Chain A
Amino acid sequence: MIVRHALLALLSEGPTYGLRLRQEFESRTGEVWPLNGGQVYTTLQRLERDGLVVSEDPEREGPQKTFSLTPAGSEELLAWLRCPPEVLSPPRDEFVIKVLVALRVPGVDLQELLQVHRRHLVELMQRYTRLKGEASEQDLGLGLVVDAQLFRLEGIVRWLDAAGARLAQATPAPLAPAAADPRGSDPAPVDRASPEGRTMDLRGTGRTASEVHP
C-alpha cells in the first residue's frame, strides 16, 4: 500500500501526470525504490476507481495523463500518515530461526555462525554508507532512506552481538587453550559455543584465519 499512498502524497502538491509521478517517487526515495511504469498506472487507475484521485483529461491515456487529488484522497492520505504501521506481531525473522535451529545441530560452531552473518551485514552496511558518503549531504531523500536501511541492519547486528554474549554466558569457558579443534572433540551441545568452538575456519566462506590477515 506504500506506493498507493506515496502517489497520493505527491499529488497533494498539485496535479501532475503519471510519468512525472514515477520520476518524483524514485527521486525522493533516493532512487533505491524503483517503480515500473505499469505499477504506477495500475495504481492510479485503482485510486481513480476509489474516488481518491480524478483525471483531469479523461480523453487522454498513458504516461501523459494528468491526475489530481480529490478531498477524499486528501483525507485518506492524512489518515494513512498517522496510522501506526504493523509492528506488534513479531516477524518470522530468518536470523533468529537459523540460530535457534543451529542450537540443535551437532557440530555447528555458533559463534562462528553468528560471525558469518555479522560480516555479511556489516559489508552490506558499508555499501549503504558509501552510497550516503558519496551523495550530497543535501540529498535529504537518499539520506533518510539509507539511514532507515542502516538502522535496520544495525539492529540485526546488535541482536547477533547479544546472541553471542548470551551463548558465551550460557557455556562457561573451559581452561583449555583456544587452539583446539572443536570438530575433533566431543560434539555435545555444551561445547559448541565454547572458546574451542571458535574455529578459525570461516565456514560457509571458504576462508581461513590466515586469509583474513591483510
Chain B
Amino acid sequence: MSAALELRGVSRAYGSGAAQVRALEAIDLVVRRGELVAIMGPSGSGKSTLLMIAGSLERPSTGEVLIEGARLGDLKADDLARLRRRAVGYVFQDFNLLPGLTAVENVALPLELDGVGARAAQRAGQRILDDLGLGDRAGRFPDELSGGERQRLAIARAMIGERRLLLADEPTGALDSVNGEGVIRLLRAACERGVAGIVVTHDAQLASWADRVVFLRDGRVVDQTSAPAGPESLLPS
C-alpha cells in the first residue's frame, strides 16, 4: 500500500512568547491507501488540529504534509485548492450541510464547484446516494432527514468524485450507537475500496473500527496499536 497522506515532523503553535500554545509537536504519521487510522486522545490533545493540517485546511508551523506524494508547501494556492476539492473529503460532527440545498444538490456541490456541469454532477450525486442507501431521499432538504441520514449524506458528499482521502472529526458524536455504527461501517467500506481514512475521536468504540489507532497526548504521538489479531483469536480453540 502506498502513502495517501504523510506528515513529517509536523508541529503547530498558536500565539507567541509566554502565551504560546503548542498544539502539535513533531508528528510523524503515514496513512496508506486502503487504511483507516483513528486518532484518539483527550480534549486539547491536538486531534482536530492534526486533522485540519492533514486536510490542508491549516498550515503547520514547521514540518511537511504530503498528499499522494505532493508536498503541500510547494503548491500554489490554486493547485492546493484543486487538490483539496478533488482528493480530500471532510466529515464533521455537525454534518455541515447547506440547509437550502436538497440532499442530491448538497452531494453534487463539490463536483459543481470543480467545474462539472450541474446535470452530470447530480447524476453522480444520485449514484452515490443510491450506494449509501439514501437514493429515495435525494429531493429532501437536510432538516427533513434524521441525524443518521444527515451524516450518511455528509459522507456521500465527502466521497463524491473519487476522492482518495477521507477525514472525519467525531463523525458519530451526534448519533446514537446503532446509527453511529452505520456511519463508521460506510467509512470502513470506503477504505476497503482503497480510500485512505482518518477518524479523529475520543470514542474507543468508534476507534476500534480502524486498522490502527494512534494515541495523542499534549500534541504528541505517545503510542499506537499494533495490527490486531484476527477475530478468530477470540474464539475458543
Interface residues of A (CB under 8 A from B): 31-32, 34, 111-112, 115, 118-119, 121-123, 125-131, 133-134, 147, 150-151, 153-154, 157-158, 161, 164-165, 178, 195, 198, 200, 202, 209, 212-214
User: Looking at the complex, which one of A123, A157, A158 makes contact with B228 (CB distance below 8 Å)?
Assistant: A123
**In the bound complex, do residue B42 and residue A161 qualify as a contact, i.e. CB atoms below 8 Å apart?**
yes
B212 to chain A: closest CB distance in Å? 8
**In the bound complex, do residue A127 and residue B229 qualify as a contact, i.e. CB atoms below 8 Å apart?**
yes
Q: List, in ascending order, chain B residues with CB within 8 A of A213's CB.
A: 28-29, 221
**In the bound complex, do residue A133 and residue B207 qualify as a contact, i.e. CB atoms below 8 Å apart?**
no
**In the bound complex, do residue A126 and residue B208 qualify as a contact, i.e. CB atoms below 8 Å apart?**
yes
B188 within 8 A of A: yes
Q: Report the Cα distance A202→B235, complex, angstroms.
A: 29
A196 to chain B: closest CB distance in Å? 11
Given A127-B229, A134-B231, also A158-B204 (CB < 8 A): yes
10 nearest A-B residue pairs (beta carbon): A131-B231, A125-B208, A126-B228, A157-B204, A129-B208, A34-B236, A213-B28, A214-B30, A130-B231, A126-B208
Residue of A nearest to B41 (CB): A161
Given A115-B223, A178-B220, A213-B28, also A122-B204 (CB < 8 A): yes
**In the bound complex, do residue A195 and residue B221 qualify as a contact, i.e. CB atoms below 8 Å apart?**
no
Residue of B nearest to A179 (CB): B25
**In the bound complex, do residue A32 and residue B234 qualify as a contact, i.e. CB atoms below 8 Å apart?**
yes
**In the bound complex, do residue B30 and residue A118 qualify as a contact, i.e. CB atoms below 8 Å apart?**
no
Q: List, in ascending order, chain A residues with CB within 8 A of B222's CB.
A: 112, 115, 198, 200, 209, 212
* Secondary structure class of chain A's binding surface, majority of residues: helix
**How many of chain B's residues have a CB under 8 angstroms from any CB in A?**
38
Q: List, in ascending order, chain B residues with CB within 8 A of A115's CB.
A: 215, 217, 222-223
Q: List, in ascending order, chain B residues with CB within 8 A of A122's CB.
A: 40, 204, 207-208, 213, 225
Residue of A nearest to B214 (CB): A212
Residue of B nearest to A211 (CB): B224
User: What are 23 contact pairs spanning A and B, CB under 8 A?
Assistant: A31-B235, A34-B236, A111-B217, A115-B215, A119-B213, A119-B215, A121-B204, A122-B204, A122-B207, A123-B225, A126-B210, A127-B229, A127-B231, A131-B234, A157-B204, A158-B204, A161-B42, A200-B220, A212-B221, A212-B223, A213-B29, A214-B212, A214-B224
B16 within 8 A of A: no
Q: List, in ascending order, chain A residues with CB within 8 A of B221's CB.
A: 209, 212-213
* Secondary structure class of chain B's binding surface, majority of residues: mixed
B30 to chain A: closest CB distance in Å? 5
Q: List, in ascending order, chain A residues with CB within 8 A of B177's CB.
A: 147
**In the bound complex, do residue B226 and residue A133 qualify as a contact, i.e. CB atoms below 8 Å apart?**
no
Q: List, in ascending order, chain A residues with CB within 8 A of B231's CB.
A: 127-128, 130-131, 134
Q: List, in ascending order, chain B residues with CB within 8 A of A123's CB.
A: 225-226, 228
User: Looking at the complex, which one of A133, A161, A165, A212 makes contact with B185 (CB distance below 8 Å)?
Assistant: A133
Chain B stretch 186-237: residues in CB contact (< 8 A) with chain A: 188, 202-205, 207-210, 212-215, 217-218, 220-226, 228-231, 233-236
B63 to chain A: closest CB distance in Å? 13
Q: List, in ascending order, chain A residues with CB within 8 A of B205's CB.
A: 125, 129, 150-151, 154
Q: List, in ascending order, chain B residues with CB within 8 A of A212's CB.
A: 214, 221-224
Given A31-B235, A115-B222, also A126-B25 (CB < 8 A): no
Residue of A nearest to B230 (CB): A130
User: Looking at the complex, which one of A118, A128, A154, A165 makes contact with B234 (CB distance below 8 Å)?
Assistant: A128
A198 to chain B: closest CB distance in Å? 6
A183 to chain B: closest CB distance in Å? 17
Q: Report the Cα distance A123→B230, complex, angstroms.
A: 11
Q: List, in ascending order, chain B residues with CB within 8 A of A209's CB.
A: 221-222
User: Looking at the complex, which one of B203, B213, B223 makes contact with A126 (CB distance below 8 Å)?
Assistant: B213
Q: List, in ascending order, chain A residues with CB within 8 A of B214's CB.
A: 212
A38 to chain B: closest CB distance in Å? 15
Given A154-B205, A214-B29, also A127-B234 (CB < 8 A): yes
Given A125-B205, A126-B225, A213-B29, also A178-B218 (CB < 8 A): yes
